[in-house]
């Protein structure tokens, strides 16, 4: 995928509500949860708090900029995956201490390094037998504007 | 609690068995375990069947072959740790005094191809390509390389060592040696994990007969091996925080060592879950065989080879023996029993008296300490 695909049109969401709607640059915020009882945050949101198991949780929009903690280039895709191969999956630490497992896109697969600074954007992925385009999220190399807004 | 002993083990060859049913494979292992124990099937009081993708109530289908004796059958699915979970439940049943003699069998006919973290077809994990299992261990490997300067050669060295060990194991799927160049030069699957750093996916079955202290006392201890302690810990790090780590192995090992009354320094031999090469390196750290971050140098030093300070995976491990999900945990236990009996032939760890198995299923760790 090229950075040009960031401005994803209004298509079905893979996981409804997991991000905010895309901004003009295709930028999205991931939406997690904060526990009203103990304050623990989690991404993605669950039925209950992951720490105290309270059901009194609220949705929270998370900051877009994060750091690649680990990554791998998947060269042999699993059955059912319809996207581009090879692809990069990484663990991104963002909004202080949350971790997301995410596609990393926006530069050649061999150029990723632990410690890369990234930001969340909308990302289009073909899904299912019909390869129907869906909107999900991915982390791209953070631009100066991403950093300025963070 | 009272004590529990393994008095019989049985294994099929791990490999491709296209012409045999899974029931047939499992029945072979159960009958072999009963013969090894010197007990008649009709005396077994309960049967634990461990399997992952073999259909519902596969244990009952196995009993139909071995002998429909009317005993209770329990089917246990716990991903790759199904069999060691079943052994733990079986040992607790005899240690509690409920049972005197039980049989456990893990079995699996595998699909060809890559190991998957199976999700429903319409799940986002499938759509995003996140079900590819080596990915999780590739992430751990990248992090380990980044934090501790672990090298590609050290990780590939796990495959070289375990393939060398398996030369002497006639139940192993792969019994030919590989060089470091072979392993590093094989096809890249998920960077930095190459094909020969992924465990193969054979068919196979492994069984054990487990008895109570009083049963063992009545018939004489003989070649019995004691199940001294076990533990089961399920993961919080990934389920709550999306962090892939083997911290569950560290916390499980701590509890098991305490219950067994030993420390890692007292182990003579270890079978650990090397589903991918890096898993053995990290598990050695989590099991306390070396300090955190030094799993790479430990491998390189030769300490974990046969003849080294603490041989790890003398059977060849999952990387060479193979990884038939439901059977894997009992494959490990059978190896430790063989080692502690002194019956491992050319792969014998001299004088081994205490051994450990560390088995992992998705999001869980199962550890057993066995001794003579």
Summarize the confidence of residues A22-43 as an average pLDDT.
Answer: 96
- Residue A144 is part of a domain; what is its CATH number? 2.40.50
Q: Where on the phi/psi map is residue A80: left (φ > 0), alpha (ψ -120 to 50), or beta?
A: left
Q: What is the pLDDT of residue A9?
A: 64
Q: What is the pLDDT of residue B242?
A: 86
The domain boundary residue, chosen from A62, A83, A108: A62
Q: Are residues A69 and A55 in the same domain?
A: no
Q: pLDDT band for position A2 (50/70/90)? A: very low
Q: pLDDT band for position A4 (50/70/90)? A: very low
Q: Are residues A24 and A40 in the same domain?
A: no
Summarize the confidence of residues A15-26 as an average pLDDT.
Answer: 94
Q: Are residues A92 and A135 in the same domain?
A: yes
CA distance A115 to chain B (A): 9
Q: What is the pLDDT of residue A1?
A: 41
Buried-exposed string B277-310: b where 16+ CB fall within 10 A, e elsewhere: bbbbbbbbbbbbbbeeebbbbbbeeebbbbeeeb
Instruction: Provide block-wise average pLDDT over 10 residues at a time, chain B (372 residues).
Output: 95 96 97 97 98 94 94 95 96 95 97 77 89 93 96 98 98 97 97 96 97 93 95 90 92 98 98 98 98 98 98 98 96 98 98 98 94 97
Asked if residues B4 and B29 have their Cβ atoms less than 8 Å apart, the reply is no
CB contact under 8 Å between A114 and B142, yes or no, is: yes
Q: What is the pLDDT of residue A6?
A: 60
Measured between CA atoms, the residue of chain B closest to residue A50 is: B240
Question: What is the per-residue pLDDT across A47-71, written as a single tens digit (0 to 9) for each?
Answer: 999 999 999 999 999 999 999 999 9
- Interface probe with A: pick from B140, B148, B186, B191, most Cβ of A within 10 Å: B191
Asked if residues B74 and B51 have their Cβ atoms less than 8 Å apart, the reply is no
Q: What is the pLDDT of residue B138?
A: 97
Q: Are residues A24 and A88 in the same domain?
A: yes
> Which chain A residues in 20-39 lie under 8 Å from chain B, judged by CB atoms?
none
Domain that holds residue A88: 3-29+64-149
CA distance A96 to chain B (A): 13
Residue located via tokens 């877009």: A64
Asked if residues B231 and B252 have their Cβ atoms less than 8 Å apart, the reply is yes
Q: Quick count: other Cβ atoms within 10 Å of Cβ B167?
A: 16
Q: Are residues A89 and A135 in the same domain?
A: yes
Three-class DSSP category at B121 = coil
**Nearest-CA neighbor of B319 among B212, B107, B162?**
B162
Q: What is the ipTM of this complex?
A: 0.91
CA distance A146 to chain B (A): 24
Q: pLDDT band for position A34 (50/70/90)? A: very high
Q: Are residues A125 and A52 in the same domain?
A: no
Does CATH place domain B4-112+200-371 in 3.40.47.10? yes
Q: Are residues A54 and A68 in the same domain?
A: no
Sheet holding B354-361, edge to edge: B73-76, B46-50, B101-108, B204-212, B4-11, B225-234, B364-371, B354-361, B269-272
How much of chain A exceeds pLDDT 70, in percent? 94
Q: pLDDT band for position A7 (50/70/90)? A: low
Q: What is the pLDDT of residue A3?
A: 45
Domain ranges of chain B: 4-112+200-371
CB contact under 8 Å between B130 and A89, yes or no, is: yes
Q: What value does the CA radius of gyration of chain A take, rounded to a whole number of Å? A: 16
What count of CB pairs under 8 Å joins A to B?
A: 100
CA distance A107 to chain B (A): 16
- Residues of B within 8 A of A115 (CB-CB) are 146
Judged against a pLDDT cut of 80, whether residue A27 lies above it is answered with: yes
Q: What is the pLDDT of residue B161?
A: 98
Q: What is the pLDDT of residue B221?
A: 84
Q: Are residues A81 and A18 in the same domain?
A: yes
Q: A72 — contact with chain B (CB < 8 Å)?
A: yes
Q: Are residues A85 and A68 in the same domain?
A: yes
> Which chain A residues in 76-135 lie under 8 Å from chain B, judged by CB atoms?
76-83, 87, 89-91, 98-101, 103, 114-115, 125, 127-128, 134
Q: What is the pLDDT of residue B38?
A: 96
**Residue B15 phi, psi (nearest 5):** 170, -170
Q: What value does the CA radius of gyration of chain B take, rounded to a whole number of Å? A: 19
Number of domains, chain A: 2
Asked if residues B117 and B362 have their Cβ atoms less than 8 Å apart, the reply is yes
Residue of B131, B139, B188 with shortest CB distance to A70: B139
- Residues of B within 8 A of A51 (CB-CB) are 240
- Interface probe with A: pick from B118, B128, B244, most Cβ of A within 10 Å: B128
CA distance A24 to chain B (A): 24
Measured between CA atoms, the residue of chain A closest to residue B119 is: A80
Q: Are residues A56 and A82 in the same domain?
A: no
Contacts 24+ apart (CB under 8 A), B176-181: B180/B153, B180/B156
């Amino acid at each position: 995928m090229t950075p040009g695909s960031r401005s994803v049109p209004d298509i079905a969401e893979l996981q409804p509500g997991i991000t905010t709607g895309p901004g003009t640059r295709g930028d999205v915020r991931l939406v997690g949860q904060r526990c009203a009882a103990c304050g623990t945050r989690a991404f993605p949101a669950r039925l209950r708090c992951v720490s105290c198991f309270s059901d009194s949780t609220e949705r929270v929009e998370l900051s877009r900029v994060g750091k690649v903690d680990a990554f791998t280039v998947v060269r042999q895709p699993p059955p059912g995956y319809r996207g581009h191969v090879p692809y990069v999956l990484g663990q991104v630490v963002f909004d202080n201490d949350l971790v997301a497992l995410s596609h990393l896109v926006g530069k050649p697969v061999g150029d990723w390094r632990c410690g890369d600074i990234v930001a969340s954007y909308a990302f289009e992925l073909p899904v299912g037998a019909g390869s129907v385009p869906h909107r999900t999220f991915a982390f791209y190399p953070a631009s100066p504007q991403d950093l300025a807004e963070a | 609690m009272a004590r529990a002993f393994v008095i019989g083990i049985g294994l099929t060859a791990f490999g491709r068995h296209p012409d045999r049913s899974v029931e047939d494979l499992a029945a072979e292992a159960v009958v072999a375990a009963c013969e090894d124990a010197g007990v008649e099937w009709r005396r077994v009081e309960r049967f634990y069947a461990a399997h992952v993708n073999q259909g519902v109530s596969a244990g009952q289908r196995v009993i139909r072959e071995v002998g429909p004796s009317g005993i209770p059958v329990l089917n246990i699915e716990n991903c790759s740790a199904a069999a060691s979970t079943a052994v733990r439940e079986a040992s607790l049943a005899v240690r509690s005094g409920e049972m005197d003699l039980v049989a456990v069998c893990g079995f699996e006919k595998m699909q060809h191809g890559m190991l998957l973290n199976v999700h429903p077809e319409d799940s986002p994990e499938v759509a995003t390509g996140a079900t590819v299992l080596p990915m999780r261990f590739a992430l751990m490997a990248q992090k380990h390389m980044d934090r501790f300067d672990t090298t590609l050669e050290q990780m590939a060295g796990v495959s070289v060592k375990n393939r060398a060990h398996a030369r002497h194991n006639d139940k192993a799927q792969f019994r030919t040696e590989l060089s470091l160049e072979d392993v590093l030069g094989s096809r890249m699957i998920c960077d930095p994990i190459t094909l020969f750093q992924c465990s193969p996916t054979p068919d196979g079955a492994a069984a054990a007969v487990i008895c109570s202290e009083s049963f063992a006392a009545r018939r004489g201890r003989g070649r019995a091996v004691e199940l001294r302690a076990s533990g089961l810990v399920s993961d919080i790090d990934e389920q709550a925080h999306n962090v892939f780590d083997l911290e569950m192995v560290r916390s499980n090992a701590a509890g098991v060592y305490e219950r067994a009354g030993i420390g890692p320094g007292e182990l003579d031999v270890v079978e650990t879950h090397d589903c991918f090469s890096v898993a053995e390196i990290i598990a050695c750290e989590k099991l306390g065989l070396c300090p955190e971050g030094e799993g790479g140098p430990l491998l390189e030093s030769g300490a974990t080879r046969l003849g080294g300070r603490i041989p790890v995976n003398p059977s060849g491990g999952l990387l060479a023996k193979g990884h038939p999900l439901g059977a894997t945990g009992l494959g490990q236990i059978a190896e430790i029993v063989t080692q502690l009996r002194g019956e491992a032939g050319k792969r014998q760890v001299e004088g081994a008296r205490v051994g450990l198995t560390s088995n992992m299923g998705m999001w869980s760790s199962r550890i057993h300490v066995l001794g003579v």
